[in-house]
Amino acid sequence: MYQDSLLAAKHVAKLVQDKLHAIVRSPTKGAGFTILRNRIGSGPKKGDSILPVSPGSPEQIPNYVWDGIDNRQVWVSQQAKAYGVTRFYANALSAPGFMKTNGVDTDRGYLCGVGEHTCASGDWKAAYAHLLIQYVKFYKAEGIDYSYLGFVNEPDYTTAYSSVLASGNHAAEFIKVLHPALVAAGLESVGITCCDMIARITGHGYSSDATIPLKTSRPTWLTEKETTDAWNGHWYSTGSVSDGYTWANHIYNAIVKGGVSAYFYWEGIEKTTVNAGLIKIEGMTLFPSARLWAYAHFSRAARPDAVRVATSGAPLGVNTVAFQNTDGTVSVIMINTNSVTTTVQVGTAGFNAQSVTGFVTSQANITMGVLDASVNGGLVGATIPEHGIVSLILSGKPGNNKEPIAPTTSKSTPTLKPTTSSTPIPTPKHTTTSCKPTPTFKTTTSAKPTTSVKPTPTPKHTTTCKPAPIPTHTTLAKVPKPHKTKPIARLR
């Protein structure tokens, strides 16, 4: 999640700051996000770029300027680290204007020296790579180690804010400069996000949803998506593009169909009248949206290094996905696309559940409400509200379970223990679900972050597979198999 706007939080009372970070970061009281995406500034204004003034030519020694604040992103990063966030992602929207063909960091323009794009001042590829590396070093000195580095944002999109154009060939050309420069600087652990010779393939979800997996061996991240209609805190109103239910299905589809392993929202918090952030702030009051809780179910269920596992017994109209976490728990997420309450009984492959903790979100309970769920013969039973989502965190041991009983639907209200606070509610250890492989994914980077997003049609199937994304955080490789449960896909 791009959390540039969280910076505004430093200007509110410490009580509100603590509450905000708990909502966003805490895996037990909030959404449990585990990746922070920061912007690498490129503008000439003081405090934006670390190189606001051109050294004159690419060969001249640059005069980097570091204020230890970086538009308050340093403070936000340090707060995130205190909550256990270990994955930090630095992303440049543009190179400084003096390194581009149009002379400004906004409105089109190519990096001088890529392809046929030359400048009288020279070839700036190596100088731009050096700037990016110096930015990473400045943060390292502040106690923040970046895991990932992006040098373009939406390279095929023309806009009035910071941006740089680049074709696939241009990107490949620059990576051949940036990658060896990172290695030479002792930063080989920093993964480049983009194309080849990289750690992650990234894309944005404005033009289309992630519904077809990319043909790549690299993990795929959807690193930006939002909607800018009027502020909406509802879970399910009229099927709005900004309803929490709509976003739960966006994330589900990207994981199950698109093979995505991380799913970012544009901003965490914003002073706004639209849906640019997951949380709206007015004065000293925070207003979490239902979209935040859609992310929270996935983020709490699939922690870093989780793997996808299979499930059985999910009925028609209930989208189901499961994960096994490194602590041995298995978590199942189920989204009821039906307009009636649905009772389910599910099992997970090779895992015999012995206890369960359940959580639910619906229009009647817009938070992480505690859900009554049961375990019988290794199977887990629960009732899902119409257009609701539940997370089931299972503890148990390896083994087979009973055959699931046929599900039922009714108009009755599910048994749950509602939470009255609009702030985060204690959460489980995780939830997991499973799936059968259902490939599909297509990301594009050609849309403006202020473009409205149309809701994604909710598929009618139960299980899925392929690498899955986790809201605001990712799951990386190297996942142990504590219960020898056969993984469907690894989240990286």
pLDDT in tens, 295-315: 999 999 998 889 999 999 999
Weakest mean pLDDT among 6-15, 30-39, 280-289, 392-401 = 6-15
4-301 and 307-436 in the same fold: no
Averaged pLDDT of the chain: 79
According to the model, what pLDDT value does residue 404 have? Answer: 52
**The predicted structure's pLDDT at residue 383:** 96
Quick one: average pLDDT of 271-291?
89
Instruction: Return d(Cα 105, Cα 97) in angstroms, integer.
Output: 4
Residue 487 has pLDDT above 60, yes or no: no
- The superfamily (CATH) of domain 4-301 is Glycosidases (3.20.20.80)
Check: CB of residue 17 under 8 Å from CB of residue 281. Answer: no
Quickly state the pLDDT bin for 362 (edges 50, 70, 90).
very high
Q: Which tokens go with 46? A: 């003081």
Q: Give pLDDT, residue 32.
A: 81
Pairing of strands 379-384, 374-376: antiparallel
pLDDT at 402: 56
Task: Tell me the per-residue pLDDT of 80-129, one tens digit each, with 9 for 90 and over.
Answer: 898 888 899 999 999 999 999 999 999 889 999 999 999 999 999 999 99
Number of other CB atoms surrounding residue 456 within 10 Å: 21
Predicted confidence (pLDDT) at residue 67 exceeds the cutoff of 70:
yes
Higher pLDDT, 453 or 135: 135
What's the mean pLDDT in 216-242? 89
Q: Vertex 290, ends 284 and 293: CA angle to 5°?
A: 95
What average pLDDT does this structure show over 265-280?
88
- Report helix angle 290-301 to 244-256, nearest 10: 30
Tens-place pLDDT, residues 331-346: 999 999 999 999 999 9
Above 60 in pLDDT, residue 424?
no
Six-digit token string for 284? 């000293």
Average pLDDT (60-82) is 93
pLDDT at 15: 53
What is the amino acid identity at position 94? S
Of the chain, the percentage scoring pLDDT greater than 70 comes to: 76
Question: Which band of pLDDT confidence, cut at 50, 70 and 90, is reported for residue 482?
Answer: very low
Report, as an integer, the average pLDDT of 37-47: 93
Q: Residue 411 pLDDT > 50, yes or no?
A: no
- Three-state DSSP class for 369? strand
Average pLDDT over residues 182-193: 93
Name the amino acid, one letter, at 7: L
What is the pLDDT, as a whole number, of residue 462?
A: 35
In the sheet that holds 191-194, the strands lie side by side as 35-40, 87-92, 148-150, 191-194, 200-204, 220-224, 260-263
- What is the Cα–Cα distance from 195 to 187, expressed in whole angstroms? 18
For the cut 70, the answer to whether the pLDDT of residue 420 exceeds it is no
Residues pairing with 204 in the sheet: 224, 444
Mean pLDDT of 206-215: 83
Selected from 3.30.1490.20, 3.40.50.720, 2.30.36.70, 2.60.40.1180, the CATH number assigned to the domain covering 307-436 reads 2.60.40.1180
Q: Over the Cα atoms of the chain, what is R_g? A: 23
0.85 surpassed by pTM: no
Instruction: Label residue 492 by pLDDT band (50, 70, 90).
Output: low
Q: Which of 195-204, 319-328, 407-416, 422-431 has the lowest mean pLDDT?
A: 422-431
In this prediction, residue 448 has a pLDDT band, given cuts at 50, 70 and 90, of very low
478 pLDDT exceeds 50?
Answer: no
Binned at pLDDT 50, 70 and 90, residue 149 comes out as: very high
Which residue reads 């970012």 in tokens? 264
Q: In angstroms, what CA-CA distances link 386 with 166, 317, 414, 418?
A: 45, 10, 9, 16
Quote the pLDDT of residue 439.
Answer: 32
**Can you tell me the distance from the alpha carbon of 456 to that of 70, in angstroms, rounded to the nearest whole number?**
36
Instruction: Please report the pLDDT score of residue 108 as a whole number.
Output: 84
Please state the domain extents for the chain: 4-301, 307-436
Res 195: pLDDT: 57
Residue among 228, 10, 290, 298 at smallest CA distance from 278: 290
pLDDT value, residue 271: 84
**Spatial contact of 330 and 394, defined as CB atoms under 8 Å apart:** yes
